Amino acid sequence: MAASVRAGYFGPFGGRFVAETLVPALEELEAAARDVMTTSPFQERFHALLRDYVGRPTPLGHAERLRAAIDSSGERLGALLLKREDLCHTGAHKINNALGQVLLAKEMGKTRIIAETGAGQHGVATATACAVLGLPCEVYMGELDVARQAPNVSRMKLLGARVIPVSSGSRTLKDAMNEAMRDWVTNVAHTYYCVGSAAGPHPYPSLVRDLQSVIGNEAKQQSMRALGRLPDAVVACVGGGSNAIGAFAPFIDDASVALFGVEAAGEGVATGKHAATITAGRIGVLHGSKSYLLCDDDGQIIEPHSISAGLDYPGVGPQHAELARSGRATYVSATDDEALAAVREVASLEGIIIALETAHAFAALRGVVDRLVKAGRKRSAVVVCVSGRGDKDLATLIDRLGLGGVS
């Protein structure tokens, strides 16, 4: 794994750009991640929860019908394997991180958990972790996301969490994160902020990566069993980037494995209505870390757009920024319409209804295969991270794909 020159940095990206009041809390968290998370009792409890509660390891299985649709000859794409994070308890990868952080918060003596959420999956995961570990939970969520992710709002409430709608700004993930950080500044002594993505001030990007690396570690071992070798490429959707960095991290030092992150191109990058931060952003500071952002010449945030609430974010985790800068990973994008088409294709060919976030990774698959072939890699084996299931998106899918009524 690429090492940072300075603690909390990935190349020039990362750091800790926060109000002075938060520095002691971040230092406390850094020490706990170093001194508590690494102990045998913590690791045993965490991995027992992942095994017995979350249902890990998640399967890595062949998607033969989808592979044949992409390449019927098998000369370009030899194997397509799906890492099924949608089969985790709560329906997405977010539970891996939430359980680890809430368990750590409890060890630190914190008595209240707050979180932010876009698609609602991190909110559900945090509410779930708080329920099973016995801590109160409050989740900030933009009003727009509350409306388009109503099933997850209901799930959070049923799990005992308080959902706090955010009416400022674009009323999406960025604004929910702003409000969560304001809350944390005010209540830092007893409150733990459970960050959902591999973004934010140090040590959150590293902490979330380490907790989500269970995805890539399992995929690596499973690929050896399924293929007898490592895959040629790993593909994952990227908003803030937690599922992708979890899938990528264990492969970073394996130069033979290409890494592809897929951002949300919204209505098209050229339209300006997108969330393709690495593809079309510039360097700046947001939510406590330096990374690529969607901002204007004055450094003001440009509101992102994506059909997927979980990718509707104007920043990206700093390690992704460094992987892009160094060329170790390639970042491409897919539009709303391409993601919708991918949902339909995966459902009809593989019987899996994927989340709109996840659909962006599938939408880019043909382009990924083209790139691999141009690089001389024929009959490639590609692993796709199925980051979440799509039942939360049914209202959007019914509307956009015309699924209402009987025909």
**Of residues 257, 321, 309, the one with CA closest to residue 94:** 309
Same domain, 172 and 153: yes
What confidence category does residue 407 fall into, taking pLDDT thresholds of 50, 70 and 90? low
Q: Specify the amino acid at residue 95.
A: I
Residues 6+ away with beta carbon under 8 Å from 9: 15, 202, 318
The H or E element spanning position 44 is helix 40-49
More confident residue, 6 or 92: 92
Whole-number pLDDT of residue 289: 96
Indicate whether 406 belongs to any domain: no
Active site residue 106: no
83, 94, 174, 220: the active-site residue: 94
Same domain, 200 and 227: no
Same domain, 111 and 67: no
* Residue 197 per-residue DSSP state: S
30, 116, 263, 350: the active-site residue: 116
88-119: pLDDT as tens digits: 999 999 999 999 999 999 999 999 999 999 87
Preceding peptide of 203 cis, ω within 30°:
yes
Same domain, 198 and 119: yes
Same domain, 25 and 132: yes
Same domain, 178 and 240: no
Same domain, 26 and 158: yes
Active site residue 387: yes
Indicate whether 221 belongs to any domain: yes
Q: What angle do CA 53, 58, 59 make, to 5 degrees?
A: 150
pLDDT at 216 over 90: yes
pLDDT at 366 over 50: yes
Same domain, 28 and 169: yes
Whole-number pLDDT of residue 174: 86
**Of the candidates 145, 177, 208, which is a domain's last residue?**
208
156-208: pLDDT as tens digits: 999 999 999 999 888 888 899 899 999 999 999 999 999 999 999 999 999 99
Indicate whether 4 belongs to any domain: no
Indicate whether 2 belongs to any domain: no
Please give the tally of structural domains in the chain: 2
Which pTM was predicted? 0.95
Tokens (6 digits) for 35:
């001194």
The H or E element spanning position 403 is none
What confidence category does residue 397 fall into, taking pLDDT thresholds of 50, 70 and 90? very high
What mean pLDDT comes out for the span 325-344? 98
**Ramachandran region, residue 162 (left: φ > 0; alpha: ψ -120 to 50; beta: rest):** beta
**CATH number of the domain that 339 lies in?**
3.40.50.1100
Indicate whether 1 belongs to any domain: no
Same domain, 245 and 350: yes
Arithmetic mean of pLDDT over the chain: 95
* Residue 4 per-residue DSSP state: P
Same domain, 195 and 325: no
Indicate whether 303 belongs to any domain: yes
What confidence category does residue 2 fall into, taking pLDDT thresholds of 50, 70 and 90? very low
**Domain encompassing residue 71:** 55-91+212-401
Strand partners, 289: 286
CA distances from 101 to 33, 97, 165, 207 (A): 9, 6, 23, 8
Strand partners, 179: none
Work out the percent of the chain whose per-residue pLDDT is above 90. 89
213, 242, 289, 387: the active-site residue: 387
CA-derived radius of gyration, the chain? 20
310-324: pLDDT as tens digits: 898 999 999 999 999
**Of the candidates 155, 176, 208, which is a domain's last residue?**
208
Indicate whether 329 belongs to any domain: yes
Same domain, 160 and 19: yes
Indicate whether 228 belongs to any domain: yes
Same domain, 353 and 242: yes
With tokens 């330096």, the residue in question is: 290
**Of the candidates 173, 208, 243, which is a domain's last residue?**
208
